[in-house]
Amino acid sequence: MKKLCVSILLVLFVSSLVFADEWISFSGVEGTVPECEVIYSTSSLFECEVNIPGIYSIDVDDYDRVNIPEHTRMDSVGNPEVPVVSFLVAIPEHESV
């Protein structure tokens, strides 16, 4: 029983190394999660800067599948799986879009 548990753990460890995602950095900035910084905000204008430090990439057959941590990707049938970075923006009370 003990040998079986050790064997299963070894297989899981090796498979995690083989199928590990590769980090591709865009700017050499620390961290892996995209950030949104508000630059300017009034009742009629909103300006922000989104920093995406990089993506994870994994080889799948003849192409690379990319992933951005904590964000989703478009997965419509027949279309590429493109990562989507989105942030919610609050609209001030008594204002309209």
pLDDT of residue 97: 65
**CA-to-CA distance for 83 and 93, rounded, in angstroms?**
32
pTM for this structure?
A: 0.59
8 A C-beta contact, residue 69 and residue 32 = yes
pLDDT of residue 16: 47
pLDDT of residue 4: 62
Residue ranges per structural domain of the chain: 21-97
8 A C-beta contact, residue 25 and residue 53 = yes
Could you read off the pLDDT of 58-82 as tens digits, one per residue?
888 888 888 887 888 887 888 788 8
Residues of the chain with pLDDT under 50: 12-18
